[in-house]
Chain A
Amino acid sequence: MKTKKRTPYFYMLPGVLMVLLFVYIPVLTNIVYSFFRLSSYSAGQTFVGLDNYRRFFTDPVFPIMLKNNILYCVISLIVQVGFGTFLALVLDSTLIKGKAKNFFRNLYYMPALISLTAVGLMFTFIYEPNIGFLNKVLEIFGLEGHSWLGDSKLAIFSIIAMSQWQFTGYITLLMVVAFQNVSQDYIEAAKIDGAGPVKRALTIMLPLAKEQLLVCTIITVIGAFKLYTEVYATTSGGPGNSSQVLGVFLYQQAFLHDDLGMAAVTGVFIFVVTVALSILQIRITRSGEI
């Protein structure tokens, strides 16, 4: 297109400026903050070097948080991305009729539309040991109920289960969309070659939807390490610290204990982990696009 050289940059400028101002600059500032003892309501601001980092990594809660975030990440990858993709293949296959296909797809996506706080509050009711839905249903089947959010061993798993309930359909929808883009020519060609549905899925559908799969895994992994609302709205990290995660810890350090430096360190840690994992995943699935 023949235009002045500067023209395209004018279109890009406002958006880029917003991203730089409100995403990049705060993230970089955060790194600076991590070397200071900072408070939100006192003027005190002391350079403490790596002391915040020392406190962060030696905090007994640190391994618990790391374990919980990783658990969330791994289970979400298996259930949301793994099972979600399988579900998308089922919905994309000819096994389910067209109308039913759309119905199920939309229904599975529905929980993703409910706000995290609402889902969190709903599940505190559902998990309630005395009147909650889950124990009541188990009771009908003669099974023993549990104190889902009150048991240190179960709490984080109960929260993870809640997230799978909410977000599996989201990934399914994204993958259905990707499968629809796979050209029918390839599929027909494979059929002629005598490839069964399973083989078609493995050799054609998945490889061709690789990029979308990458996007889904990245979203899931990043989501796992910035996990916050789900835990905040249910256990706030309890009982004890058993369901503590990085996101809630950061928030509590900043706004409950007024230890902004420690919060900044937590932020830096989340930043390093998510960026490193994203790069790693892109490397693994490396291809020309993007």
Chain B
Amino acid sequence: MAKRSVCKFFAYALCILLSIIILLPLGWIILNSLKTNPEMFMDSLALPESVQFVNYVNAWNKGLYQYFGNSVFVSAVSLIMILTLSSLLAYGITRFRAKGSTLIFLIVLGGMALSEQVALVPLFKILNATGLYNTYAAVILPYIAFRIPFTVFLMRSYFISIPTELEEAAIVDGYNSLQIFLKIIIPISKPIFAACAIVNLNFVWNEFLFANVFLNDKTLQTIPIGLMTFKGDLRTDYTTTLAGLVIASLPLIILFFCMSKQFVKGLTAGAVKG
């Protein structure tokens, strides 16, 4: 029994140490986001003389609100489309035993191994040629396409686990396949939808490469690009930048802590079964 409490002690010690490693830098960022620039320069570990909430106001007014709105719009549209197309695709693959569905799945899954960088230059040319460059669609379309493979991968294993009896009963009731999808599959797949939503939101909200190249207009750019503009060349307003970083990071963190139960439940259900 003594051995067990020693193990327990070390397990807790490790977990707490890691928590500190994660939290301390974040704490330092928040601390300095509440100071003036000279205060930070003189001693970045000291407490501020008076708390500078004004940094947050400045960061927000410096255009962050606009980037924020764009990010919300781009993320919402992308997310809805990713979930819709992926679930339809996974449904088609898993519930019909259609010829070639394994091949189609493999082709889609192969997309997971293809990285955004490889498609960057041709996509840039395509978007230019089609006049989509520098529109919301310029990032939304690639986001959808690049996120379908992983999402289908997660949804497929969930859909496979749904017993066929439910559908058979529905067919007796005269449901067609779309009705079955809408009224049976989706309602019992909520956890996997929640998990996919968070995983994809995390990608879309934070994506930098495509957004940086395909969006030029400030009125269209998303938060990650907006953050980079905080870094001036000859003068970075350090503390305001830090405040901006905090503002930009909070929404997803809050959302995650609110939804973490469903998220883990969905991932567990969608994960490859051992």
Report A's interface with B, CB cutoff 8 A. Answer: 1-3, 5, 7-12, 14-16, 18-19, 21-27, 29-30, 33, 38, 40, 87, 90-91, 93, 95-96, 100, 102, 104-118, 121-123, 125-126, 131-133, 136-137, 165, 169, 173-174, 176-178, 180-183, 208-212, 215, 218, 222, 225-226, 228-229, 232-233, 246-247, 250-251, 254-255, 260, 263-264, 266-268, 270-271, 274-275, 278, 289-290
Residues of B within 8 A of A100 (CB): 12, 15
Residue of B113, B116, B124 with most chain A CB atoms under a 10 A cut-off:
B113
- In this complex, what residue of A is CB-closest to B253? A113
A165 touches B111 (CB 8 A): no
* Known contacts A1-B167, A117-B224, A226-B115; A267/B92 CB under 8 A: no
* Known contacts A18-B148, A125-B29, A131-B44; A111/B118 CB under 8 A: no
Residues of B within 8 A of A10 (CB): 92
29 A-B pairs with CB atoms under 8 Å apart are A11-B88, A11-B89, A12-B104, A14-B85, A18-B141, A27-B119, A95-B8, A104-B19, A110-B253, A111-B22, A114-B253, A115-B223, A115-B248, A117-B224, A117-B228, A118-B224, A121-B228, A121-B245, A132-B44, A174-B271, A181-B271, A181-B272, A226-B115, A226-B117, A228-B117, A229-B209, A233-B228, A251-B117, A251-B209
Dominant secondary structure of chain A at its interface with chain B? helix
B68 lies within 8 A of chain A by Cβ: no
- In this complex, what residue of B is CB-closest to A32? B122
Contacts A1-B164, A115-B227, A254-B121 aside, 19 further interface pairs with beta carbons under 8 A come to A8-B96, A12-B89, A14-B88, A91-B15, A95-B11, A108-B18, A114-B249, A116-B206, A117-B227, A121-B231, A122-B245, A133-B44, A137-B24, A181-B273, A218-B113, A222-B112, A266-B117, A267-B117, A270-B117
Residues of B within 8 A of A109 (CB): 256
A125 touches B238 (CB 8 A): yes
Residues of B within 8 A of A30 (CB): 118-119, 121-122
B148 touches A19 (CB 8 A): yes
B202 lies within 8 A of chain A by Cβ: yes
A105 to B101, CA, bound (A): 36
Least distance between A195 CB and chain B CB atoms (Å): 16
* Known contacts A7-B96, A96-B11; A260/B148 CB under 8 A: no
Q: Out of A33, A123, A125, A165, name the residue touching B22 (CB < 8 Å).
A: A165
A18 to B146, CA, bound (A): 9
Dominant secondary structure of chain B at its interface with chain A? helix
* Known contacts A21-B145, A22-B141, A114-B249; A33/B202 CB under 8 A: no
A264 to B123, CA, bound (A): 12
B118 touches A40 (CB 8 A): no
Residue of A14, A40, A100, A260 with most chain B CB atoms under a 10 A cut-off:
A14
* Known contacts A12-B89, A22-B145; A1/B96 CB under 8 A: yes
Residues of A within 8 A of B171 (CB): 1-2
Q: Out of A5, A15, A268, name the residue touching B108 (CB < 8 Å).
A: A15
B213 lies within 8 A of chain A by Cβ: yes
A270 touches B224 (CB 8 A): no
> In chain B, residues 4-31, which have Cβ atoms closer than 8 Å to a Cβ of chain A?
7-8, 11-12, 14-15, 18-19, 21-25, 28-29
A26 touches B260 (CB 8 A): no
Least distance between B144 CB and chain A CB atoms (Å): 6
Residues of A within 8 A of B53 (CB): none
B242 lies within 8 A of chain A by Cβ: yes
- In this complex, what residue of B is CB-closest to A112? B202
- In this complex, what residue of B is CB-closest to A183? B274
B274 touches A118 (CB 8 A): no
Q: Out of A16, A136, A169, name the residue touching B107 (CB < 8 Å).
A: A16
A254 to B214, CA, bound (A): 13
B126 lies within 8 A of chain A by Cβ: yes
B19 touches A211 (CB 8 A): no
Residues of B within 8 A of A232 (CB): 208
Residues of A within 8 A of B257 (CB): 106
- In this complex, what residue of B is CB-closest to A34? B121
> In chain B, residues 220-261, which have Cβ atoms closer than 8 Å to a Cβ of chain A?
223-225, 227-228, 230-231, 238, 241-242, 245, 248-249, 252-253, 256-257, 260
- In this complex, what residue of B is CB-closest to A162? B25
A115 touches B208 (CB 8 A): yes
- In this complex, what residue of A is CB-closest to B267? A177
Residues of A within 8 A of B245 (CB): 118, 121-122
Least distance between B72 CB and chain A CB atoms (Å): 14
B45 lies within 8 A of chain A by Cβ: yes
A269 to B144, CA, bound (A): 24
Least distance between B47 CB and chain A CB atoms (Å): 14
B40 touches A90 (CB 8 A): no
Q: Out of A9, A111, A260, name the residue touching B92 (CB < 8 Å).
A: A9
Least distance between A76 CB and chain B CB atoms (Å): 15
A23 touches B208 (CB 8 A): no
- In this complex, what residue of B is CB-closest to A249? B117
A9 to B218, CA, bound (A): 40
